[in-house]
Each structure stands twice: as structure tokens, then as C-alpha cells.
Amino acid sequence: MTEWSIGKIKKIKYWTKNLFSIIINAKIHNFYAGQFTKLALDINGKKIKRAYSYINSPSNQNYEFYISNIKKGKLSPYLYNLGINDKIFISKHASGNLILNNIQPCENLWMLSTGTGIGPYLSILQDKVCFKKFLKIILVHSVRYIEDFNYLNLVKKIEKNYFDKLIIQIILTRNININNFLYGYIPNLIKNGELEKKIGIKISSHNSHVMLCGNPEMIKQTQDFLEKNKGFSKNLKNKNGNITSERYW
């Protein structure tokens, strides 16, 4: 049974018609960077709950979530229409394995995401422990248009302090021919070697861990390729591997 806390909306950022962030004040239990919780609203007499990843670091009590407003979705359009000081249910307990505690130290940590799937990585990067554990962190974020990379400023700020450790690669799926970006789908850009060429680092099972978050098709195709062609394996509770993933649907 979910133990709910009643939180209040402190701030809302409307990035586009489909993307927004909410910041909640609430009393919740500690969580690890990269974890998710449940948010819920009473809608027509029913509590509708969905999972959302924390994007703030665990030490920051402004609980922030980056959300896609899904057309005809049962919860997200209602979250989009919330106002300041509105009440919202938030699960006191966080869950999820997209966390660094479960990952063996290695040279390179690849963080691959689509859309709002960047959320857990923002929490991990703001937590900063990651920079002690890995030589290089490569954040690969796929969005349709550059305007959809709403946390670019935050990521650039972190990069300034960790310029020798953090590499950011933006992938666009809709605009073409914009300098310094890659164009296409993550699994294809791994298969054809373009991602590795652009970054200048090989995705090798000998020295890397790959995290995948967001679109289930991106996760499936990337994981299949890395397992079949590059010797990667899933990171399991009872068997260390080098792929950790979280599907958003």
C-alpha cells in the first residue's frame, strides 16, 4: 500500500504545450539520485497515480519533476493544469534501480535518454557523487527539436564545473544540419558508429556502464544491439552487468 504525503505545488515551469516541470513541497522519506516516486490526484472520485522521476538532487527539498503532457492521458493533463499551492499526493517512498549504488565502478558511464527520460540523470548529475566514481560521464539526450532540451542551461552549468569529466551530446530527431548535434535515433547512431565517432570514445563492455531511460523502443533496440554485438549484459540484483535501464511506458 502506498503511503501518501499531501504536498503543495510550489512552482510550475511551462516549457512548451507538451512539456512542463512542477516543484512540490512535501514531507517524504529520503531517496537516491535516479529514483522515482508516485504522484497522484483525485480525479472524478478516483485516485489516479503514475510514476515520475525526481530530477532534484536528494539533498534539495524542492522536489522537481519533468513531465510530458500526454494527449488524452489519465493524469498528466491534470498535472499540467495545476496551479500554485494546489494539493497533490506524493508517495513517501521512492523506488527504482537507476541508481549509482547498483553500478560497479568503471571508466565511462553512458547516460542515454529520450525526452523526459533525462530526469533521473539530472538528479544524479546534481548529486555530484557520480564525478568521483567515473572517469568520464557521457550524457546523450535525444529530443525532437533543440527547443525541447529544456534543462540545457542546468546541464551546461554542471559541465562548467566538471568540464574534464562531463561530455554532453544532443541528438535531434527532427531538425537537420544544425552544427555540433547528431541527427537520428540513438540505437541507429550506435549501430552505425556515429555516436562513438562524435564523442571520440568507444562504447566498450570492458570499461563502460550504459544507463538507458525513457522510450521503451529506444531501450529495447539499444540493449539488444549492445548485448548481441558488444558483449554487454543486464545489471541484475544477483549478477553484475553493465546495462541499467528504466522504461517510462
Q: Does 246 bind ligand FAD (CB under 6 A)?
A: yes
| 8 A C-beta contact, residue 98 and residue 51 | no
Q: Which CB atom, from 72 or from 132, has the smaller least distance to ligand FAD?
A: 72
CA distance 175 to 179: 11
221 phi/psi in degrees, rounded to 5:
-65, -40
CA distance 238 to 137: 25
Q: Does 245 bind ligand FAD (CB under 6 A)?
A: no
Q: Which CB atom, from 124 or from 201, has the smaller least distance to ligand FAD?
A: 124
CA distance 110 to 17: 30
Q: Does 70 bind ligand FAD (CB under 6 A)?
A: yes
Q: Does 12 bind ligand FAD (CB under 6 A)?
A: no
Q: Does 244 bind ligand FAD (CB under 6 A)?
A: no
Name the segment binding ligand FAD (CB under 6 A); options: 74-82, 123-131, 197-205, 231-239. Answer: 74-82
SS in 3 state form for 163-178?
CCCEEEEEEECCCCCC
Using CB atoms, what's the residue nearest to ligand FAD?
Answer: 73
Q: Does 116 bind ligand FAD (CB under 6 A)?
A: yes
Smallest gap from Cβ 75 to ligand FAD, in A, equals: 4
Q: Does 13 bind ligand FAD (CB under 6 A)?
A: no
Q: Which CB atom, from 63 or from 208, has the smaller least distance to ligand FAD?
A: 63
Cell readout for 145 is 527539436
What angle, 0 to 180 degrees and rounded to 10, lies between the N-to-C axes of helices 119-127 and 152-161?
Answer: 30
